[in-house]
A and B are shown apart, each in its own frame.
Chain A
Amino acid sequence: MVGIITFTLVYVGPGDPAAIIAGDEATPEILEEIREDLGFNRPFPVQMGDWFWKLLQGDLGTSYFSRREITELITPRLQPTLSLGFQVVVLSTLIGISTGMLAAWKAGSRLDRNLMILAVLGFATPGFWLAFLTIWVFAVNLGWFPVIGYKPIQDGLIPHLHSMFLPVMVNSILASAFISRITRSAMLEVLREDYIRTARAKGASEFSVFIRHAFRPSAIPVATVIGASIAGLATGFVLTETIFAIPGLGRMLVDSIVRRDYPIIQALLMVVATVLIAVNLIVDILYAYIDPRIRY
């Protein structure tokens, strides 16, 4: 389904792909030749079938412009995005869950209120503007980090992490805001359950009630939100990779859209959708691990 939508979207879009490739001064003969060459003159279902067949074989198609295999183009772009994604997911989960639990532990206190104000702020602040502010403060004025400039892991782990620090922080802070809110409300919900009262009736300490009895049952909505925030990251990366000039997939997508390189757009959308479906699957498996009542 995802594939059909992707392909149809691009197919029904206005603009003749042949004309885009050939440029403004192409003659009708050249256009026809390109069409013949790339198979644009075949009927829609045939083109889509062909595209799917290649997709199954791991062939994402060929770029209109560079005429190179898209798989080949994507490979060098994977590292920055995966590194960014991994760091952000780990960091935002840690920050989100710990602040959310802290807020629930001190529910109603000033600390709780302040944390939740921060969380709402984090939800409302546009990532690209926050990125702009952090660059201005930490890179332009304090000079702690380069304004732009990505260093791959091959240059050493420390330089790599250093060059990624600001984009990782910006995305983590924003993603953790949501996780924190949900952790807090899920914990408070579970703390109202009968079995929490049972645990207290057994003489369990408040800390044990919190960690041992309340955390795991409340982890399900939290896992859902972490899964959802990964979808949000896909968007965030498009923006941050552009701002911080990180040569990742998000930047590639923006460039391709500007150039209308449809096969690359198709391929990247497929990659994103596949990753997100995989994430959902992992979240589902996590559910079963968290809650013994869920079986597949």
Chain B
Amino acid sequence: MTEALLSVENLHTQFRTEGGLVQAVDDVSFNIQAGETFALVGESGCGKSVTALSIMGLIPNPPGEITSGSIQFGGVDLLKLSSTEMRSIRGSKIGMIFQEPMSSLNPVLTIESQLAEPLKIHTGLSASAANDRAQELIDMVGIPDSKTRLKQYPHELSGGQRQRIMIAMAMACAPRLLIADEATTALDVTIQAQILDLMQEVTEKSGAALLIITHNLGIVARYADRVAVMYAGKLREVGDASDIYAASQHPYTVGLLRSVPRLDSEKGTPLSPIGGEIPDLTNLPGGCAFNPRCQWAVDRCSVEEPELIEISQGKQVACFEHASVSLNV
């Protein structure tokens, strides 16, 4: 295997809250190869956004703190960089798109000044050259009438257009990794597909890797090469998207897949949502955090924590009973 573009190893990120210390990211490790599309999947609050922010070095401190681990990106450990060095990577080598297109653009600055900003910071382009490039970027993300758009403010654009602007902004300096944190969740279903297609298109063209963070398994099936499923701060299953979709071996992934309607299932097959509640991170159940909601749980699950182990080429699962877990039960 070639050297990975991004390699997260044993990442631990914790938050101090009123309820106590929360281990939002607990011993997470994964690799992203150059040019691939990697999906990080899980319910809200499972730690997937915190993972992305840890990569970006944007964990608000306090209350958050990365306590241990390493994040290798293009041969350097991002966690060892000074804040100035990290700043030169943000926006130039790694771009990020956020969930809320409505609130992620500054309401009082024009589209032009916001688009040109990363160029001015990282490339040393002159103001007029940066503004010209901003117009090209708007064309690139498929918003018509780019000249007038430049002078407009975010509130004059629709949600989909704003997310396109966010993509243009994140891609402005041709980063090698684009992180999309729930980038389509707040959009209409029809717009979602357009935005995802656009993200895939622009990253393919520039050869950048794409890290999609989502709770939507439909997106995973269609766009991702590989998938990591996260639950209560830990990775539970990692593998090829097609493999996980067809033959998941972790009870939580199975539960997620069963709770979404599938076009290929027979008519009349009932959906089966996962029972129970998302656990409180300040007060996790002992053993495997998923055991109270798990239909395969055995006695061992409530006392011992299963490790993430490689069960076949490129596939890792954290479950004692993975051999008997299957979608078709």
Question: Bound complex: CA of A292 vs CA of B56, how far in Å?
Answer: 30
A291/B108 in contact, CB under 8 A: yes
Q: Does B183 contact A (CB under 8 A)?
A: no
Question: Bound complex: CA of A208 vs CA of B117, how far in Å?
Answer: 10
Which chain A residues in 204-261 approach chain B with CB under 8 Å?
A: 204-205, 208, 212-213, 216-217
Total inter-chain residue pairs, C-beta < 8 Å: 71
Question: Bound complex: CA of A216 vs CA of B107, how far in Å?
Answer: 10
Q: Does B13 contact A (CB under 8 A)?
A: no
Per-position 1/0 for B68-107, Cβ under 8 A of A: 0000000000000000000111111001101010011111
Q: How large is the interface on A (under 10, 10 to 19, 20 to 34, 35 or more residues)?
A: 20 to 34
B98 to chain A, nearest CB (A): 6
B166/A198 in contact, CB under 8 A: yes
Chain A positions within 8 Å of B246 at CB level: none
Chain A positions within 8 Å of B300 at CB level: none
Q: Does B153 contact A (CB under 8 A)?
A: yes
Given A198-B166, A201-B95, A203-B121, are A292 and B107 also a contact pair (CB < 8 Å)? yes
Given A197-B98, A198-B166, A292-B155, are A203 and B104 also a contact pair (CB < 8 Å)? no
Residue from A199, A203, A291, A292 with most neighbouring chain B CB atoms (10 Å): A203
B108/A217 in contact, CB under 8 A: yes
B103/A202 in contact, CB under 8 A: no
A197/B108 in contact, CB under 8 A: no
Chain A positions within 8 Å of B87 at CB level: 203-205
Question: Bound complex: CA of A203 vs CA of B170, how far in Å?
Answer: 10
Residue ID in chain B nearest A199 by CB atoms: B106
Question: Bound complex: CA of A194 vs CA of B155, how far in Å?
Answer: 15
Question: Bound complex: CA of A208 vs CA of B107, how far in Å?
Answer: 16
A194/B121 in contact, CB under 8 A: no
Pick the contact of B118 from A193, A202, A213, A293 — CB < 8 Å? Answer: A202
Residue ID in chain A nearest B100 by CB atoms: A194
Pick the contact of B121 from A202, A291, A292 — CB < 8 Å? Answer: A202
Chain A positions within 8 Å of B117 at CB level: 199, 202, 204
B104/A197 in contact, CB under 8 A: yes
Q: Does A195 contact B (CB under 8 A)?
A: yes
Q: Does B122 contact A (CB under 8 A)?
A: yes
A195/B103 in contact, CB under 8 A: yes
A198/B98 in contact, CB under 8 A: yes
Per-position 1/0 for B154-167, Cβ under 8 A of A: 01000000000010
Q: Does B58 contact A (CB under 8 A)?
A: yes
Q: Does A54 contact B (CB under 8 A)?
A: no
Per-position 1/0 for B56-72, Cβ under 8 A of A: 10100000000000000
A194/B91 in contact, CB under 8 A: no
Q: Does B169 contact A (CB under 8 A)?
A: yes
Q: Does B271 contact A (CB under 8 A)?
A: no
Q: Does B109 contact A (CB under 8 A)?
A: yes
Q: Does A290 contact B (CB under 8 A)?
A: yes
Question: Bound complex: CA of A195 vs CA of B100, how far in Å?
Answer: 9
A201/B91 in contact, CB under 8 A: yes
Chain B positions within 8 Å of A195 at CB level: 103-107
Which chain B residues in 91-148 approach chain A with CB under 8 Å?
A: 91-92, 95-96, 98, 100, 103-109, 117-118, 121-122
Residue ID in chain A nearest B155 by CB atoms: A293
Q: Does A106 contact B (CB under 8 A)?
A: no
Q: Does A162 contact B (CB under 8 A)?
A: no
B130 to chain A, nearest CB (A): 13
Nearest first, the 7 closest Cβ-Cβ pairs linking A and B are: A203-B91, A202-B91, A194-B103, A203-B90, A292-B153, A201-B96, A195-B106
Give the B-binding residues of A (Cβ under 8 A): 193-195, 197-205, 208, 212-213, 216-217, 290-293
Could you list 28 A-B pairs, sorted by A, with CB under 8 Å?
A193-B103, A194-B98, A194-B103, A194-B104, A195-B104, A195-B106, A198-B104, A198-B105, A200-B58, A201-B56, A202-B90, A202-B91, A202-B117, A203-B88, A203-B90, A203-B92, A203-B118, A203-B121, A204-B87, A204-B91, A204-B117, A205-B121, A212-B109, A217-B106, A292-B107, A292-B153, A293-B153, A293-B155
Beyond A195-B104, A198-B169, 5 additional pairs, beta carbon < 8 A: A194-B104, A195-B105, A204-B117, A213-B109, A291-B108
